[in-house]
Structure 1
Amino acid sequence: MALEKQEQQQHVVAVPLPASGHLNPLMHFCKLLAKKQSDIIITAFDAADAPPLRILSLSRHGPPITCLLSDFNITFPTQDVVDKLRIPRIVLYPCCASRLLFTHYLTLGELVSLEEVKEATTATGVEMRKLFRELVGLPTLRNNDIPHFSQQHFIWVLQAGLVDDIDYSSSAAQIVSESDVKGLVISWAPQQQFLAHPSVGGFLTHCGWNSTSESIANGVPMLCWPYFADQPLNARFIVDEWKVGLRVKRSKEDTGLIERGDIEKVIRALMEGPKGKLVRENATKLKERCGQRSLENGSSHRKLKALMES
């Protein structure tokens, strides 16, 4: 009888986006689930404090996880958990259903394109009030009604205590909020695993040799922001010789500071512009060439073999 009860019990792990506008509705939904089903177990994780390993460990040592409940914007970071545990996922979309419908139309690409949206969101003055489109299920839309999309999804590894007088938790929440929740801020990440994921379109890096070689090995184009030591020379090769990256340019040479607008320009160039397409193609070619060096008859393999024999 006890075994039968245990088999019926559901264990839901909830992972919200760490921003109040997303955390609150998910927690309300968790309470609603618990109220409606008395034998359900709900475990809530803060996305910034729950890498997949912690959730997987919970499943091994605690009650088996039967479902993952996550915010729409936490889908990618938690996909490994769903895949490895082979459990269903519930995605909570804590925004207006009309925006979801508009995004659906945009994804289909038949009635509205991303290029049209970009043009509409940059309109000014009288152009903002011009008719954009009439779509079934939505009111007549004008340019100033269109949800902003040109921002890129990103993962920012920001180590706690790295900058003096900065509160990590509030800073991370502010970054996520200002990015229109398209970003995820975490204190640590398995860099090689991230760079190997097909969703990664670019890597903003200081151009240390480990980061450089890992990017090349995975065919990921780089946005170069070197500081000292070997980094400037590495960046020179990345940008000018191998042409697998773009450099973040300093607008204020006297201070060495880089403004947010400069970072935005180089990100747009990589993700949307013709230069980005070129460096992406070059990065793929360089990855293939470097991979051949590691094969049994490749130069790297032969040199390692010669070292062992000597």
Structure 2
Amino acid sequence: MSKQHILAIPFPAQGHVIPLMELSQCLANLGFEVTFVNTEHNHKRVMNALADESHISRDHIHLVSIPDGLEPLEDRNELGRLSEAMQRVMPGKLEELIEKINQGEGQKITCVIADQTAGWILEVAEKMKIRRVAFCPAAAAVLALILSIPKLIHEGIINNDEPAAFTLAPEILPIGPLLASNRLENSAGYFWPQDLTCLNWLDQQPPCSVIYVAFGSFTVLDQTQFQELALALELSQMPFLWVVRPDTTEKTCNLYPEGYQDRVASRGLMVGWAPQQKVLAHPSIACFLSHCGWNSTIEGLTNGVPFLCWPYFADQFLNESYISDVWKVGLKFNKNENGIITQGEIKNKLEQLLGDENFKARASKLKELAITSVKEGGQSNKTFKNFIEWIKS
């Protein structure tokens, strides 16, 4: 049988690109040829982030791009406008790309793996008679909710006695968690260069002493909220590693309270982007103040790290509920009458989280379950092998 050639296409957001790239790395390691399609805008960001990453292996993954329909300077964070432009422009560009690949000297595309939010990709694959897979990078609970919408409309609510929602769509294959720790090379999916100096800084900190703060790629804090968080970290008297993207706030200068950086210099480190999976695996990390994106949730859980939950939008609120109410490995914040999470609230919840060893114990138990699932003989491992056989068939 000729070599299989996978075309993988994520939704153009950091939290969607990374997990599909992890799956692509897994497939490439098994000998599949993979063409990974980013938008032109994100392709440039990825290549710039890779400029200093000479040790990344891409022997079996081809990084290519197609336009997303927006002008270079238009705001890609306006998701409605971005999605409309993508649906208008990208189907035709994708079809042209596949035709170009199939007419070349290499292996033709045999399977398309597309983000489940972009149904138009699956329509292109169906039109071209190519086997297709929808990839869901969110929590299983989110997918169950989506699949249950007709039932929710009809009955109002689904209770705990209902059959598993996945029986509504038996072709769903749970294969996660997809983690960089399962391979040697770094990922070719990040939009910002990773500041690796923070790992050396973590090496200098005591075990279970550092607060790790990261809000993903979309969260934007107003100036008041940003400064409340900054002051809370100062009040904690604990070491902290804080990921502050260039666009974390709408303001680009004088972000911190006056004199703040000098006051916390001996125990606080702020970086533009961190190698998060390596950070969370570091023994110095005590807890994770997170926006509760699914990638961050999985990365924290699989390292046994308890959470302080700060969701921003979309499925992050559902993930927060699982972290705090179902798994009980983290705590929620309460906002004041002005919608602000105050420095006092942050400090109190931090003390509550780290003062109760049960949070860490429950997180460690989930870590064991996740590792068992993906290792040889585990349920996710078995499902992934079945998926591979399906692609090859």
Q: TM-score normalized by structure 2? A: 0.39
Q: Which has the higher contact order (CA 8 A, sep 6+)?
A: 2
Q: TM-score normalized by structure 1? A: 0.49
Identify, as 1 or 2, the structure richer in helix: 1
